[in-house]
Amino acid sequence: MQHRKSWLSRRAFTVTALSALVASGGATATGSAMADGANPNRRWPTREMRGVWLATVANRDWPSKQGLTADEQRAELIAHLDTAASCRLNTVILQVRPTADALWPSPYEPWSLVLTGTQGQDPGWDPLGTAVEEAHARGLQLHAWFNPYRIANHTDLDRLAETHPARRHPDWVVPYGGKLYYNPGLPEVRSFVQQAMLDAVARYPVDAVHFDDYFYPYPVAGQSFDDDEAYDRYGGGFTVRADWRRDNIDKLIQEMATGIKWLRPDTQFGISPFGVWRNASTDPLGSDTRGGVETYDDLYADTRKWVREGWIDYICPQLYWNVGFAAADYAKLLPWWAEVARGSRTQLYVGEALYKAGDAAQPAAWQDPAELSRHLTLAKDHPEARGHVYFAAKDMAADRIGAMARVVADHYPRPAIVPR
């Protein structure tokens, strides 16, 4: 019951903080825990998602490097939360399980390598617990971002912590493309990864569980994902292996949704897939895009189905291309996703490539500080698009060419509440 007592104390802290925010007139972004009618005499902000991804894998955004002290890690985390609040955002999506390890004291998986540099070493504090408290104190939602099947960005099991489940169950592991993955075709794997992720939901009042685009791994030319034995054992009824793989991922999504709602009915479940489901040349239901990855065929993730069936609360496709990009035009993908979401119970948010703004390696459109702002202007013509999420926190803090500042000036004059 200790985690329940801890949760109650955090909840009391959050309610106090939000009450103070209301009294102050809402100087920072307001969280969805605030009731719309709490003060009928003030004009409440609009409801739209304004989020940022805070990536921890390979220390992409945070911590800035491995081995910082607990105080240094905490200070960097709070600085990212403060930046989000100053940009009038209302959500931070924190990656808490980057490589089958944890940023909380998990009984199932070791402490993450990104904290101390040694997987399994206690960092001396609770990053996820602190993130939830500090985000809520600033009126921000905290979405816990998990990667279900990625184990390591190398292929050496011996480099994992001795207690790592992958070392105890090497039969669960598939090396592919220079990395290690859990095999999604094994029911025992699916059960385990859900148990590991739902532990965080049970312990902390996270506002959402979030998956990104990694299900089956992205294809690597000349290599095949070796799941022959699992297919022989569990693929009965499927004459096409691709259909079996999609069914494995469908089961993960449905079962996670059920588990989340059972533990915390108010916690949402959201997914941020690669932006192309299928090309129209492959499927008449697909988008006007050409070449490249198709999540249905390459990652075995039927993201369109999950929206239409209402299995998830929100979808945030990564539309990481500029307006006019020939192979995948933002201006064509946005209305396609709006049509997918229309009439469903699933909210549509749009993933934005802030990291490309000002990057000299990107096309000329990304050297223009107004490119991202144009994306938000286009979205106003599609009411199904209920907000935007920016990749990622380090780029928001740096804001190389002022693209985020332009978005805030053009579109975020006052705070907003996350859609229901």
Averaged confidence pLDDT in the chain: 91
Which string of DSSP letters, residue by residue, matches 42-109? SPPPPB-EEEEEE--GGGSSSSSSTT--HHHHHHHHHHHHHHHHHTT--EEEEEEESSS-BSS--SSS
In this prediction, residues 394-413 reach a mean pLDDT of: 98
pLDDT for residue 23: 30
pLDDT for residue 46: 87
Q: Read off the DSSP letter of residue 31.
A: P
Q: What share of the chain is helix, strand, coil (3-state, %, to 5)?
A: 40, 15, 45
Burial tier of 80 (Cβ tally within 10 Å: 0-12, 13-18, 19+): buried
Cβ atoms of 378 and 323 within 8 Å: the answer is: yes
Condensed to tens digits (0 to 9), the pLDDT of residues 211-249 reads 999 999 999 999 999 999 999 999 999 999 999 999 999
Condensed to tens digits (0 to 9), the pLDDT of residues 258-283 reads 999 999 999 999 999 999 999 999 99
> C-alpha angle with apex 88: 50 to 407, nearest 5 degrees?
70
pLDDT for residue 190: 98
In this prediction, residues 104-121 reach a mean pLDDT of: 98
Gap between the Cα atoms of 140 and 132, Å rounded: 9
Confidence check: pLDDT of 100 > 90: yes
Bigger pLDDT: 62 or 8? 62
Condensed to tens digits (0 to 9), the pLDDT of residues 191-209 reads 999 999 999 999 999 999 9
Confidence check: pLDDT of 24 > 90: no
pLDDT for residue 55: 98
Confidence check: pLDDT of 6 > 70: no
pLDDT for residue 10: 37
Confidence check: pLDDT of 116 > 80: yes
Condensed to tens digits (0 to 9), the pLDDT of residues 278-331 reads 999 999 999 999 989 999 999 999 999 999 999 999 999 999 999 999 999 999
Which band of pLDDT confidence, cut at 50, 70 and 90, is reported for residue 44?
Answer: low
In this prediction, residues 362-385 reach a mean pLDDT of: 98
Indicate the pTM of the whole model: 0.90
pLDDT for residue 28: 34
Q: Helix/strand/coil (H, E, C) string of 229-249? A: HHHHHHCCCCCCHHHHHHHHH
pLDDT for residue 43: 61
Q: Where are the domains of the chain?
A: 2-411
Which band of pLDDT confidence, cut at 50, 70 and 90, is reported for residue 380?
Answer: very high
Cβ atoms of 371 and 400 within 8 Å: the answer is: no
pLDDT for residue 420: 83
Residue 59 CA to its chain's centroid (Å): 16
The CATH class for the domain spanning 2-411 reads: alpha beta
Gap between the Cα atoms of 288 and 62, Å rounded: 36
Bigger pLDDT: 43 or 33? 43
Cβ atoms of 269 and 346 within 8 Å: the answer is: no
Rg (C-alpha) for the chain, rounded Å, is 21
In this prediction, residues 58-72 reach a mean pLDDT of: 98
In this prediction, residues 150-166 reach a mean pLDDT of: 98
Cβ atoms of 300 and 242 within 8 Å: the answer is: yes
Confidence check: pLDDT of 30 > 50: no
pLDDT for residue 3: 40
In this prediction, residues 25-40 reach a mean pLDDT of: 36
E strand or H helix at 29: none
In this prediction, residues 350-372 reach a mean pLDDT of: 98
In this prediction, residues 130-139 reach a mean pLDDT of: 98
Gap between the Cα atoms of 278 and 301, Å rounded: 11
Confidence check: pLDDT of 15 > 90: no
